[in-house]
Amino acid sequence: MQNIVFSTDISEALDNVLTVKSFNRIFVIVDENTRRLALPLVNSGHVEHAHVITIGAGEVNKNLNTLTHVWIELGTNGATRHSLIINIGGGVVTDLGGFAATTFKRGLPFVNCPTTLLAAVDAAVGGKTGINFAGMKNEIGCFAKASDVIISTGFFSTLPIEEFKSGYAEMLKHAMLSDTAAFHALLDIDFNRISGEWLLTQLKTSVKVKADIVQRDPHEQGLRQALNLGHTVGHAFESLALQRGKPVPHGYAIAWGLVVETILSRLLRQFDSNHMQRLATFVRENYGIFNITCDDYAELLHFMHHDKKSMNGEINCTLLNSCGNVNTGNTIDPSDMKAALDIYRDLMHI
C-alpha cells in the first residue's frame, strides 16, 4: 500500500517521510517550470544536498529521449539501488520519473510530490508510470508504485485556474464513483473562493477513492476500469479537438465526457435525471461547451472504436446506476451513443 500524506507544508511533510528512510543519495527530478516555481518552496535539508535532474516541460517531452537523459544522469552521478528519487512536478514528471526509477538497475524507490491538482488526484497515485512512444500515449511503461505520495496544497495556490479546473474534473469523477453526497459537495464549489483547508479535505476523500480501487485491482484486470468513467467520450473529444487544431485541456475533455456518459447512464441504467441535469449545468457554467454537430458523430465514434481500452473494436464505457453504483465493461451500441450526443447538445445549449 502506498503511503499518501496530505499537508499544507511540503517541507515538513517531506522531512517526516525521509527521516525514517535510509538511502545513500537523493535525486530530485523536476521540469523547467517546477525547478523554477516548485523547488524553491521545498525547504528540506534532504533536498538541498540532492542531485537535481531537470527535464523539458510538457507532454512533448514525455518521451524516450528524455528518459534516456534521466538514466544517464542517474548513472553518471552514482545512483545505486540504495538511492532515492523524488519526483516534483505534474503528471509528466511523476510518470516519466517513476518509470526511470523503476527501470534503473531494476528499480530504485521513489517518492512523488505532485505540483498540479490533476497529478495529485490522478497520475501520482496508483502506480502507472511510462512515456509516450511512436505517437501513442503511455505506450511504454510499468506498473510501479511510489513508496510515498506527498500531496501538498501549497503547490496548487499558484496554478492557473484552467489547470486547477482540469484536475477538479477528475475529482468530480471520483465523487461520482463514490456516493451522491460527495458528488453534491463538489458541485457547490465557487472557483473564485476556494480555501486550502476545504480543498485538502476534498482531496483526502477523492484520492482515497482512487487508492482503494487501485489496491483492489493494481494491474487493471477489471474493477480499475471504473476509473475510465468519462474517458471514452472524453478522449474522443480530445482527439477531435486536436484534429481541429484547437487542443483542449485533458480535464475539460473529461468534464464534457462525464456529461455524455452520465446521459448514457440515464438512458441505459436509470441514473437520476436531476443529478444528470445538475452535472450538465455545472460543467456548462464552469468549463464552457465543446461544440459538436451531428456531422462530427462519425469521427467521434471512430475515435471511440479505437480507444486503448476497447476490446475487439467495440465502444466500451463505464456506466452508473447511481453515484457509487458502478458498472464496468459495457459495450455501447452506436445508436445509443448518438442519442446521448444529441441530448448532450441539448443540455449544453448547442
Residues acting as catalytic residues: 106, 128, 170, 210, 220, 224, 228, 231, 235, 250
Of 99-107, 268-276, 313-321, 330-338, which segment contacts a second copy by CB under 8 A? 99-107
User: Which lies closer to a second copy via its Cβ, residue 30 or residue 67?
Assistant: 67
Q: How far apart are CA 103 and CA 99, in angstroms?
A: 6
**219, 244, 302, 306: residue in contact with a second copy (rule CB under 8 A):** 219
Q: How far apart are CA 202 and CA 273, in angstroms?
A: 25
Q: How far apart are CA 138 and CA 136, in angstroms?
A: 6
Shortest reach from residue 143's CB to a second copy, in Å: 6
Q: Please tell me whether residue 143 binds a second copy under the rule CB under 8 A.
A: yes
User: Which lies closer to a second copy via its Cβ, residue 79 or residue 203?
Assistant: 79
**19, 65, 78, 82: residue in contact with a second copy (rule CB under 8 A):** 82
Of residues 215, 201, 150, 193, the one with CA closest to residue 171: 201
Q: Please tell me whether residue 128 binds a second copy under the rule CB under 8 A.
A: yes
Distances (CA, A) of 161 to 205, 220, 249: 21, 32, 12
Shortest reach from residue 309's CB to a second copy, in Å: 10
Size of the site for a second copy (CB under 8 A): 28
- Does residue 102 come out as left (phi exceeding 0), alpha (psi in the -120 to 50 range) or beta? alpha
Contact 86, 114 (CB under 8 A): no
Q: How far apart are CA 133 and CA 156, in angstroms?
A: 29
Grid cell of 294 as nine digits: 451531428
Q: Please tell me whether residue 223 binds a second copy under the rule CB under 8 A.
A: no
Of 10-18, 70-78, 259-267, 316-324, which segment contacts a second copy by CB under 8 A? 70-78
**91, 97, 126, 141: residue in contact with a second copy (rule CB under 8 A):** 141
Grid cell of 176 as nine digits: 461520482
Grid cell of 247 as nine digits: 487542443
Grid cell of 162 as nine digits: 484552467
Shortest reach from residue 65's CB to a second copy, in Å: 11
Shortest reach from residue 88's CB to a second copy, in Å: 23
Number of Cβ atoms within 10 Å of the Cβ of 204: 12
Residues of this chain that bind a second copy (CB under 8 A): 64, 68, 71-72, 75-76, 82, 102-107, 128, 130, 133-134, 136, 138-143, 219-220, 308, 311
